[in-house]
Chain A
Amino acid sequence: MFSSSQFESAPAFTGGGGGFNYSQSTQSADPVPTSAKSRDTQPMVPVTAKQIIEASQSTDDKSNFLVDGAIVSNVKLVGMAFDKAERVTDVSFVIDDGTGRIGCNRWVNEAVDRKEVEGLSDGTYVRIHGHLKSFHGNKQVVVFAIRPVTDYNEIANHFLECIYAHSCNARLQTGVLTPASSSSTLSTPSNGNQKATSNQFSQEYNLDGLNNIDKLVIEYLERPSSTVQEKGVHRDEIATQLKVPMAKILEAIESLESEGLIYSTIDEYHYKSTSTG
């Protein structure tokens, strides 16, 4: 019981840290190649560069990587950018997070992408979200988002997240918790943080760390009427529908985006929830 009570802290973390779902790591034995799934359905795992470099390729599907024995497809890294090289269609750089260096590549198709890489300069701390890939035998990260670090507490926070994610996976791998018991732990009412709804979202993510408007916005984006919108929901629509002043909506969007719970789509006005893709 010792370890399962520790595991109960997992939902609190997944809420605070954004769109992770470590329970997915229990599917590492799943023979279905996960590379076929869209990146949006994959959990975003906080890692150190050293973990990526030491990650092994999964035996059944060479496009998958195993970190702590779990398939890791999308990663979050925080480190310093170096060796930036701009080309017409992409920008490459190296992330050094103090544990190692890993090559990164960001495709630049649109003006908004260009703007994102313009802010990138050697020696600045950035948070990157990307997809782990092997290219000519070298592991690299195909980056979807680069955000400059402005609050430097994020660095300590990121490494604590890495440790936490590692601990969760390590515990699952050692079989102390079987997938079945972990899911029952997650939904157990004794974990006072959980809302007793059948909504899958509230079981996987803990929204208690969010304020009310954040919750309204994420719930709005979770609605089927929102998720069917290919390009996401315009922020004006969110404000009008929720009858909340735009300033509050913008605040909520900023905070949800930084938590990794939502992301901007075609432009900075349209948003989608990371959990629904």
Chain B
Amino acid sequence: MDTSNPAVFVNAELLRMYVGRRVRAVIQVLKSDGGGTVTGKSTDEQQLVIKGHPPGPLSTFVEVIGIADSNQSILAEIWTNFGDNLDTASYNQVCQLANGDYKHLFI
């Protein structure tokens, strides 16, 4: 049992509140340069940079869990392919609810 290291649901807007902390975000992959940087679109349609090396080929939508590196970048530890079909609007709603009225259920 451990709640000491939660990964907070974030979109680009919320990311800035958690710099230095563990977060989870879904991005739509736009560009992967193969050199440790992946550029993607957040669920609130802003550009995010994910630093780190994906373990394999990425699907259209990817969830990364890692440390919020700056306002627009995440240092990824865990990459999960979420497939090519994802309701990003719902995920974005979860980000907002998990940081709003229902924060106490999450962090």
| A interface residues, Cβ below 8 angstroms from B | 48-51, 53-54, 80, 98-103, 123, 125, 138-139, 151-153, 155-157, 159-160, 162-163, 166
* Cβ contacts A to B, 28 pairs, < 8 Å: A48-B105, A50-B107, A51-B105, A53-B1, A53-B2, A98-B6, A98-B7, A98-B65, A99-B3, A99-B107, A100-B1, A101-B3, A123-B80, A152-B80, A152-B83, A153-B90, A155-B63, A156-B87, A156-B90, A157-B90, A159-B9, A159-B97, A159-B98, A159-B106, A160-B97, A163-B97, A163-B102, A163-B105
Assembly CA distance A50 to B103 (angstroms):
11
Count of A-B contacts with CB under 8 A? 74
How near does chain A come to B60, taking the closest CB pair, in angstroms? 11
How near does chain B come to A25, taking the closest CB pair, in angstroms? 16
- Verify B106–A101 contact, CB threshold 8 A: no
Tell me which residues across on chain B come within 8 A of A49, comparing CB atoms.
Answer: 3
Assembly CA distance A119 to B9 (angstroms):
26
Tell me which residues across on chain A come within 8 A of B6, comparing CB atoms.
Answer: 50, 98-100
- Verify B98–A50 contact, CB threshold 8 A: no
- Verify A98–B86 contact, CB threshold 8 A: no
Tell me which residues across on chain A come within 8 A of B83, comparing CB atoms.
Answer: 151-152
Assembly CA distance A50 to B4 (angstroms):
10
- Verify B1–A138 contact, CB threshold 8 A: yes
Interface residues on B, range: 20 to 34
| B interface residues, Cβ below 8 angstroms from A | 1-3, 6-9, 24, 61, 63, 65, 78, 80, 82-83, 86-87, 90-91, 93-94, 97-98, 102, 105-107
- Verify A98–B9 contact, CB threshold 8 A: yes
Interface centre among A49, A51, A98, A162 (most CB of B within 10 A): A98
Q: With contacts A50-B6, A125-B80, A156-B87 known, is A101 near B105, CB below 8 A?
A: no
15 further contact pairs, Cβ within 8 A, besides A50-B6, A159-B106:
A50-B107, A53-B2, A80-B78, A80-B80, A98-B24, A99-B106, A100-B1, A152-B83, A156-B87, A156-B94, A159-B94, A159-B98, A160-B97, A162-B105, A163-B102
